[in-house]
Structure 1
Amino acid sequence: MENKEQLYTVSIYTENNIGLLNRISAIFQRRHINIESINTSASEIEDVSRWTILVKMTEVQIKKIIGQIEKQVEVIKAFYHTEDETIYQESCLFKIKSDLLFEERQIQNIIKDSNARIVTVNKEYFVLEKSGRRSEVDLLYRELSAFGILQFNRSGRIAVTKDAMEITKMLAALNS
């Protein structure tokens, strides 16, 4: 089981320092592991950033990677999670010609069926937003591709764990 490749969501809590992105991505690059998506934002802890990285690898590989990531001075703690251990979403934006919205009934049905949301409409184009699982975003992309997509942009994965993360308690213990 440990040698089977699967998707892992990596959560890294860090100080926000210049150059850390290069060093963390180099850890994956040296092992020839492709990063599927990467997202960074403020975390639930003041002055601590949280990185969410999606990678496909074996459990043996991910354990080694986590060890290497935690050796970085600015890294407070790193975790890895399987698909079943997380609740996750992606978001995307589609820019499409406006005349299609009014002339193609099928586009309106696609929007409704996919639970996408119209963000803006003007004479030249309209913009749709869709949040959901990667498969939902991929399906909407395929359906809209038949009509022509002017622009498309997808976010990286954002995720929270189903179980409690002990990072807040760990940091409180370090600061006392």
Structure 2
Amino acid sequence: MSTKHTLSVLVENKPGVLARISALFSRRGFNIDSLAVGPTENDEVSRMTVVVDVDLLPLEQVTKQLNKLVEVLKVVELDPLASVNSQVVLVKVRADATSRSGILETAQMFKAKIVDATAEAIVLQAVGNADKLNSMLEILEPHGIKELVQSGVVAIGRGPRSITDRSRH
């Protein structure tokens, strides 16, 4: 039975690293559900958060292969109970005079920001975990979602320890 796993991968901040890592997943036939990459507190290091839906044994094999890549400094699977994760959603919702108040109530309920509004549509920005964002989208669906864009998941371990405390260099 496959399940979603969140990997936090510290890599050297160099061109081509993202392509090499995504190719590794592709060669194994794994679909990446979410991928977010950005700089860390160290300019020479980037952090990739990869969410993949795989069995545990193939995940161990991919993790070992990731660790063999020269540019990979550290790979950690984040435990859902010992980590915090979040993503951003921008959603454009059809909004006429009759539906506008319901959309605004939904935005307030989910602490979403109104980032654009016209006579015909409202664009909301919401931040949170997948469950929260999916719940908001379900409520907005009857109003007519015109467009939707989501960032990848970003995640970090809870508590005082840091993935960088245990990196290879």
Normalized against structure 1, the TM-score is what?
0.84
Gaps of 5+ in 2: none
CA deviation after TM superposition for structure 1 residue 27, in Å? 1.6
Verify: 1:159 aligned to 2:162, yes or no: no
Mapping 1:17-36, distance limit 5 Å: 17-36=14-33
1:52 maps to 49
2:141 maps to 145
2:123 maps to 127
2:92 maps to 95
- The root-mean-square deviation of aligned C-alpha atoms, in Å, is 2.0
CA deviation after TM superposition for structure 1 residue 149, in Å? 1.6
Gaps of 5+ in 1: none
Verify: 1:42 aligned to 2:29, yes or no: no
1:110 maps to 106
Aligned partners of 1:57, 1:126: CA distance in 2, in Å? 37
Q: Sequence identity of aligned pairs in percent?
A: 27
Aligned partners of 1:5, 1:96: CA distance in 2, in Å? 34
- 1:72-99 CA deviation, whole Å, 9 max, x = no partner? 1211111112212210011100112343
Contact 1:12 1:52 in 2 (8 A): yes
C-alpha change, 1:166 and 1:133, in structure 2 (3 Å) is closer
Verify: 1:74 aligned to 2:76, yes or no: no
**3-state DSSP of counterpart to 1:18:** coil
**3-state DSSP of counterpart to 1:73:** coil
C-alpha change, 1:129 and 1:84, in structure 2 (3 Å) is same
CA deviation after TM superposition for structure 1 residue 145, in Å? 1.8
Contact 1:40 1:51 in 2 (8 A): yes
Which residue identity does 1:68 align to in structure 2?
Q
Which residue identity does 1:90 align to in structure 2?
Q
C-alpha change, 1:124 and 1:131, in structure 2 (3 Å) is same
